[in-house]
Every structure is written in structure tokens, then in C-alpha cells.
Amino acid sequence: MKRASDIRTLVIAAMAAGCAGTQATPAASPRNAPVETGATWRAATPETYDPGSMWVCRPDLPADACRENRDSTELRADGSTVVIPFVARAGPAADCFYVYPTVDLAMTPGNHTDFSDTDRMREWTFGQVARFGETCRLFAPLYRQMTFGTYFGSDEEHAHGFELAYADVLASFQWYLAHADASRPLVLVGHSQGAQLIERLLQSLFDGESDQARALRARLLVAMPIGGDVQVAEGSTTGGTFQHIPLCTAQADLGCVVAFGTFLPKGSKNPWPGAPPKGMREACVNPAAPGDEGPHLLSGAVYPTRSRFRDGMPGSAIASTPFVAVPDFYTAQCVDGRDGFRYLAVDEARTPGDARPSPVSFDWYGWKTRLGLHVLDFQLAQEDLIRAVRRRLERFRQIQPPALAGFPGKAIGAQR
């Protein structure tokens, strides 16, 4: 992972968003933005997250990145297009807590500390989870994430960087717990570095035997650490990363994990994050059909069409809306690679007569690197991930008392 060739490969793959027009990777600030090392670590507390300025999205704020215009233009198989207005649920009963991925590509090991300009964090969050507002209220904290270069620093630099990032995420989640009614169902969502931090949060607070851990698991609709590094014991749905939180095996399972990394069907000879330890396998849950080994159509890929930082976004020449949606255009299947590595194999599933253009060309060489389709994880499966929340909320309501709409203490307004 630390060889120069690997660094170049991953940087090229990380820049795929700009070349192919997805939302997922540019630096959050100039490459010489301030970084914080372990030597200058200042731990966050829940009170750190009292100000609204410490959040990308929080439902009591007058406005945030998750409540901008979320309309989409749907590309239909006959070649026509139709604008689909976004409709948010009034007073959604669930809460989604989201941690954005690595957006600071600085090669200096450390943590991102300059939040004077959060436009890139906002743009990323908007593209990946704003449309989850159809089913849940969105909480997305700012945090001192590891820079991209930290992944190639020393083990000590990586450990310091990750602990600082996690301390911020933990403090922000503790703020949420202090202000949220304890009966509200929860969804935890993260991508890439954000997924790794969600995994740690689940291990620390949800996956134990304490009364608090059991209570939090009872509220958990689903966890979605996408593009992270979730492992399970061979032949089991637990036993690796988590002991009490299984992989989802059905659409209505509660308190389970949807995790996958996306690659083209042939996969990669040396995929990231690499082969799991002996006796383990990398988790792969098909978001279109959890527990099913066969290929299934993804119900809707959703790509953002606008960016302040890049040209040529998918569908930007076709759609005037912030998103372009492509239903039933891709197929997905969990595939066994080498040495216990499993991945979600995605390809176009164009039927005869389908006149739609491909929003993203899979011929680009960057998709064949170690990261595969990593930067498209959330876009290709977005509608299926949203449906996963919706279905589990319906199931939760069938077996649990209705979640309360209000909060004790500081009021948190309804998601708009």
C-alpha cells in the first residue's frame, strides 16, 4: 500500500470522480490545507457539536446541504426523459447519521482541520445521501478526517489520524444521542473512510453486551458502511468485524449490515482493501436482494449533475435537475474473488431497444484499478439503499411502538 506505484494508482482512481463525472473524490480544500497530527490532538466533546456550523446537515438548521433541490430527471428506455419532483416525507420517523468519505487528497499525513470552506463536503454529502431525506432526517457532522496521504504514512501516523477522526465522529454521535428521543429508529451510513468510522462506532457502542449496546441495537434499522472493510467468519453472517450485528439476508431484516465494494464483473487482481485473514471473508450484501447469490437489477442509479469544481457531470447535457436517475440499467451480483475477497460485480444490463445513453462509461481504465468502481458505490445503488431504509422502517413500525416525533431538551426540527 505504501509503494509509489500503489499511491499513483489510488490517486488516479480517487480522481475518477472528476474524469467520469461522479460526486465522490476531490480534495476538500487546497492540498496545503492545515493538518493536525497526534502531537497537537485536541479531543472533541459532544458540546463541540452544539453550533450548527459543525454540521453539514442537521434538521434544526434553517438550511443545509441535505435540503437543497433534489429533483431528478429520469432516463427511460425509450429514450425519453421525465422530471421527477423529489418528495420528502413529512416528519420522517427515522434518523440517518452519515459520515462522508475522504475528501482531502493532501499527501501530507495528518488530519483536515480547515473548515472555513466546506463546499466540497457539502457537495459530496448532497450527492450521496441528500435523497435519503425521503425516508429519514439527516445528521452529517464535520470531522477532522485523515488526509489521503495518511493512508501511506507510518502505522503510528495512521493510528493517530484515525483516532482523531473517530473521536470527532463519536463526539458528534454522542451529541445526537443526548438530543434525540430514545425510541427513534436509526440508520448509520458511511462511505470509504466514513464507512470505517461507522464500523468503529458500531463496534464501540452497538456490538457489545451492555444494556446501552442492546438498546442501541434495538433501534438500529440498518447500518450501511459502504466501501469499507467489513469481514465475517467463513460461512457466517457475523464473527469478524461484528459479533452481534449480522449481515442482512432479507429485505426486511432489522439491526443488520449492508456492506459491499463495487467492481466490474472481472474484479481486480489486487483489490483494495485486500484479502481478509484466513477463515474470514469480505462482506458483500447485494443491495438489490440481500441474501441472494444471483444477479439482480439495481432499481435505480442516481448521479448528481452539477458541481462547482468539475465539468462533465453525468447527465449534465441532458438534465436541468440536480440529479439524473437511471432505473433498471445495471445488474449487481456478489462474487467470490481470490482468498476470501468478495465484491459486488456491477455491469450494464441494457435490453434490446434500450435507447438510453450510458451516464458513465465503464470502458475507462480507472475503473480497472485496485479501487474498482469505489467512487460509484453510492450512485449505482442509491435507490436500492433508500428502499432498504424504507422497508425496514415499515417493518420496525409493525413490531415496535410508534417513534415519538419530539425531542427532550433542545428542539430538533423536522426534516424538510
pLDDT in tens, 211-228: 999 999 999 999 999 999
Position 378 confidence tier, pLDDT thresholds 50, 70, 90: very high
Per-residue pLDDT, 170: 98
CA–CA distance, 12 with 130 (Å, rounded to integer) = 27
Phi, psi values for residue 196, rounded to 5°: -60, -35
Name the grid cell of 70: 433534489
**396: closest CA among 95, 191, 97, 132?**
95
* 169 within 8 A of 225, measured Cβ to Cβ: no
**246: closest CA among 261, 258, 234?**
258
Looking at the predicted structure, is the pLDDT value of residue 4 above 70? Answer: no
By the 10 Å C-beta count (0-12 exposed, 13-18 middle, 19+ buried), 393 is classed as buried
Q: Is residue 86 part of a domain?
A: yes
Name the grid cell of 313: 457531470
CA–CA distance, 138 with 135 (Å, rounded to integer) = 9
Position 1 confidence tier, pLDDT thresholds 50, 70, 90: very low
CA–CA distance, 277 with 339 (Å, rounded to integer) = 9
How far is the CA of 378 from the CAs of 191, 210, 224, in angstroms? 8, 33, 10
Q: Is residue 133 part of a domain?
A: yes
Q: Is residue 410 part of a domain?
A: no
Per-residue pLDDT, 156: 93
Spatial CB neighbours of 264, under 8 Å, sequence gap ≥ 6: 345, 346, 347, 362, 367, 368, 372, 373
Position 57 confidence tier, pLDDT thresholds 50, 70, 90: very high
* 204 within 8 A of 254, measured Cβ to Cβ: no
- 3-state SS class at 58: coil
* 130 within 8 A of 138, measured Cβ to Cβ: yes
Position 39 confidence tier, pLDDT thresholds 50, 70, 90: very low
Lowest mean pLDDT among 18-27, 96-105, 183-192, 236-245: 18-27
CB atoms within 10 A of CB 349: 15
Looking at the predicted structure, is the pLDDT value of residue 26 above 70? Answer: no
Q: Across the beta sheet with 94-99, what order do the strands follow?
A: 55-57, 136-141, 94-99, 186-191, 220-226, 256-257
CA–CA distance, 361 with 383 (Å, rounded to integer) = 20
Per-residue pLDDT, 309: 73
CA–CA distance, 70 with 221 (Å, rounded to integer) = 24
For 160-176, write each residue's pLDDT tens digit: 999 999 999 999 999 99
CA–CA distance, 183 with 34 (Å, rounded to integer) = 40
Q: Is residue 409 part of a domain?
A: no
By the 10 Å C-beta count (0-12 exposed, 13-18 middle, 19+ buried), 21 is classed as buried
Position 322 confidence tier, pLDDT thresholds 50, 70, 90: very high
pLDDT above 70 covers a percentage of the chain that reads: 86
Q: Is residue 405 part of a domain?
A: no
Q: Is residue 268 part of a domain?
A: yes
Looking at the predicted structure, is the pLDDT value of residue 404 above 70? Answer: no
Phi, psi values for residue 16, rounded to 5°: -60, -30
Angle between helices 155-179 and 193-201 (to 10 degrees): 60
Per-residue pLDDT, 413: 53
Q: Kindly report the average pLDDT of the chain as a whole number.
A: 87
CA–CA distance, 27 with 321 (Å, rounded to integer) = 25
Q: Is residue 227 part of a domain?
A: yes
> For residues 405 and 326, which has the higher predicted lDDT (pLDDT)?
326
CA–CA distance, 84 with 78 (Å, rounded to integer) = 17
In which domain, by residue range, is 98 found? 4-399
By the 10 Å C-beta count (0-12 exposed, 13-18 middle, 19+ buried), 411 is classed as exposed
Tell whether the torsion through CA atoms of 16, 389, 165 and 408 is positive or negative. Answer: positive
How many domains is the chain partitioned into structurally?
1
Position 29 confidence tier, pLDDT thresholds 50, 70, 90: very low
The two beta strands, 342-348 and 262-263, are parallel
**118: closest CA among 107, 132, 103?**
103
Q: Is residue 381 part of a domain?
A: yes
For 65-84, write each residue's pLDDT tens digit: 999 999 999 999 999 999 99
For residue 107, which amino acid is it? M
The two beta strands, 186-191 and 94-99, are parallel
Position 36 confidence tier, pLDDT thresholds 50, 70, 90: low
* 332 within 8 A of 287, measured Cβ to Cβ: yes
